[in-house]
Amino acid sequence: MSLLFDLVAETVSSIVGDGVSALFRRNLPETVHRLRIVSWVFVIVILA
């Protein structure tokens, strides 16, 4: 279970990092899409 959580945390941090980079490049639609994915991942992890 902790291994799964570590994997999710690593994936989320990389997605968030990419999203922040995209935001600084003024690529808002991609950033919003990534943040939506991240929020769904959090919901799935909380419910799991």
Q: Domain range spanning residue 20?
A: 2-47
Residue 25 DSSP symbol: T
What digits encode the pLDDT tens for the residues 1-48? 688 888 888 888 888 777 777 667 776 677 778 889 988 988 888 887
Specify the pLDDT at position 32: 78
Give the number of domains in the chain.
1
C-beta separation of 22 from 31 below 8 A: yes
| CA angle (24, 43, 2) in 5-degree steps | 95
Specify the pLDDT at position 1: 64
Specify the pLDDT at position 40: 92
Specify the pLDDT at position 45: 86
Specify the pLDDT at position 23: 67
